[in-house]
Chain A
Amino acid sequence: MAKIVVDPITRIEGHLRIEAQVEGGKITDAWAAGTMWRGIETILKGRDPRDAWTFVSRICGV
C-alpha cells in the first residue's frame, strides 16, 4: 500500500493538495485539501449587501 501526495497542484493556483492511497496499482481512496483560508464569509458579516460583490469577486481571479 502506497500513498501518493501531490502538493502543490499547479495551473489552477497553488493551494491544492491531493493525497491518494494506492493498492495493487489502483487508487482505493483519495483526499483533496484546499490549503489556504481567508475567511471571506467572516469578513462579509455585518457589511452592506450592496458591497458584497466587491469582496466575493476576489475569491478567485482566475
Chain B
Amino acid sequence: MAGSIYHHLLSRGVTRRDFLKFCSATAATLGLSSSMVPQIAEALEKKERPSVVWLHFQECTGDSESVLRASKPSIAKVILDIVSLDYHETIMAPSGHAAEKSLHDTITKKKGKYIAVYEGAVPTKDGGIYCFVGGKKSIDTCKEVAAGAMANIAVGNCACFGGVPAAKPNPTEAKGIRDIIGGTVLNIPGCPMNPENFTAVVVHFLTFGSLPALDSLGRPLFAYGKLIHNNCERRPHFDQGQFVRQWGDQGHRLGWCLYEMGCKGPMAFQNCPTIRWNEGTSWPVQAGHPCIACATPDNWDAAYPFYQRMKAVPGVGWQANADKIGLGVAAATAAAVAAHGAIRAAKRRKECSKSEDEGHE
C-alpha cells in the first residue's frame, strides 16, 4: 500500500528479504512466536508511519544516539522510517522559530494521533527553571505535549526515573516523566536504552494497537522481565565461585564472574545478555565490565558504588521478575530467602578463595 511503512522502506532501498528479517528479529525481541511474523509484516505493510514528537530535557542525547546507531537490518533506516519523526532537536533541519512551529503544528494538527517520546528528566526545583527549550520550561512543554499524545514513551533512565540528574543530592529536583504527567507512561530505561527494545515497542504498538505488557515500573516485560544475573553468560562462574578479584588477573582474562568487582547484575532487570548491543556484538559484562544496573530506578545511588561488591545477592528463581522480588538489594526480601542467599554467598566466597589459591601463581 502506497504510504505504508513497507512502501516507505522499499523506496529507501530496504529489500523484501531485509524487511522480513527485521520482522523476525523484532518478533524474537518481543518474545513472540515466529508464527506472529506474518502479522507483524502485514501491519507494517498496511499501516502508515505514526507521527513522533521526540523531546529532550535534562539528558545527554545518548538515547537518540543509541537509536541513530541501531543497525538490524540497516535499522538506522528502519527505525527512522517506521516512524515519521516530526520533531527531534538533534536531527531536524529547522532551528529557532521554525523548530517551534514544527512542534506546535504537529501537536495541534495531529492531536491524539502522535506518539510522544521523552528523553531526559524534568527539573522541578524553583518552578522548573533549570531546563528551557525555545524559551519554554520543560515541565510546561512536557505536560502540553503529553496531553495530546496517543502514547507516551520515556526513553533512557533519566526520562524514566530521573537518572543522572536525579542522583543525590538531586540539585534540580529532577523527576522522571511518569512523576510529571501521571497516567500510563511506557518506560524503556537503560543508560542508554537499547534501540532494539524501542523498535520492538513501536512495532508492537503498530501490529496490535496496544502497548506491550508492563511491570509496575512501566517497563515492557519482554525486555525487563528477566534478571541479568540469571541470563548472564558468566553465571556458571558465579555458581562455581570463580570470581575476578583484580582487573587483569587470571580470572578476568578467563571471563570469570564480575560480582566481586561490583557487578550489579543480581539486581538488574534487562535483556542485555540476550540481545546485546551493536548488532548483537557485545554488552558491558561480556566486555569485562561490571553491570551498573542502568535500567533500575535510582541506580546512580542504589547500585552505587559501582566497584564495590553487593552486600547480598537476593535468592531468586528463574521466573522471578521485578514485581515479584522487589528491587534486589534495596528491597526487603523474605528473611528466609535472604538467609539462604547469604549462606550460599558465604559458601561461594569460601570456595572462591580456595579456587583463587589454586588458580593463581
Evaluate contact between A58 and B60: CB separation under 8 angstroms.
yes
The contact of B92 among A11, A35, A42, by CB within 8 Å, is A11
A48 to B93, CA, bound (A): 41
A6-32 to B contact mask, C-beta < 8 Å, 1/0: 111111111101000000000000000
**A48 neighbours in B (Cβ, 8 Å):** 305, 307
Evaluate contact between A38 and B172: CB separation under 8 angstroms.
yes
A58 to B172, CA, bound (A): 16
Interface hit among B30-38, B162-170, B314-322, B352-360: B162-170
**B300 neighbours in A (Cβ, 8 Å):** 43, 55
Evaluate contact between A61 and B65: CB separation under 8 angstroms.
yes
Evaluate contact between B133 and A35: CB separation under 8 angstroms.
yes
Given A8-B89, A36-B130, A62 contacting B96 (CB threshold 8 A): no
Main secondary structure of the interface of B (DSSP, over half): loop
**A61 neighbours in B (Cβ, 8 Å):** 59-65, 192
A54 nearest CB across to chain B (Å):
6
A55 to B167, CA, bound (A): 9
Residue of B nearest to A62 (CB): B61
The tally of residues in A whose CB lies under 8 Å from a CB in B reads 31
The contact of A36 among B58, B62, B63, B99, by CB within 8 Å, is B58
A60 contacts partner chain B, Cβ-Cβ < 8 Å? yes
A7 to B172, CA, bound (A): 22
Among B93, B95, B165, B171, residue most surrounded by chain A Cβ atoms (within 10 Å)? B95
**A43 neighbours in B (Cβ, 8 Å):** 164-165, 167-171, 300
B236 contacts partner chain A, Cβ-Cβ < 8 Å? no
Given A50-B307, A54-B306, A42 contacting B171 (CB threshold 8 A): yes
Evaluate contact between B96 and A9: CB separation under 8 angstroms.
yes
- The size bracket of the interface on B is 35 or more
A36 to B304, CA, bound (A): 25
Evaluate contact between A62 and B164: CB separation under 8 angstroms.
no
Residue of B nearest to A5 (CB): B96
A45 to B273, CA, bound (A): 33
**B130 neighbours in A (Cβ, 8 Å):** 36-38
A13 to B94, CA, bound (A): 12
Evaluate contact between B95 and A42: CB separation under 8 angstroms.
no
Evaluate contact between B95 and A51: CB separation under 8 angstroms.
no
Task: Give me the interface of B with A, judged by CB distance under 8 Å.
Answer: 56-65, 89-96, 99-100, 123, 130-135, 138, 163-165, 167-172, 174, 191-192, 292, 300, 304-307
Given contacts A58-B163, A60-B60, 6 further A-B contacts (CB under 8 A): A7-B133, A11-B91, A37-B131, A40-B164, A43-B300, A47-B304
Can you name 20 A-B pairs with beta carbons within 8 Å?
Answer: A7-B134, A8-B89, A8-B99, A10-B95, A14-B56, A14-B89, A15-B131, A36-B132, A38-B172, A38-B174, A39-B172, A42-B169, A48-B307, A51-B304, A54-B306, A58-B191, A60-B60, A61-B60, A61-B192, A62-B61
6 shortest interchain CB distances as A-B pairs: A61-B62, A39-B171, A14-B89, A61-B60, A6-B96, A38-B165
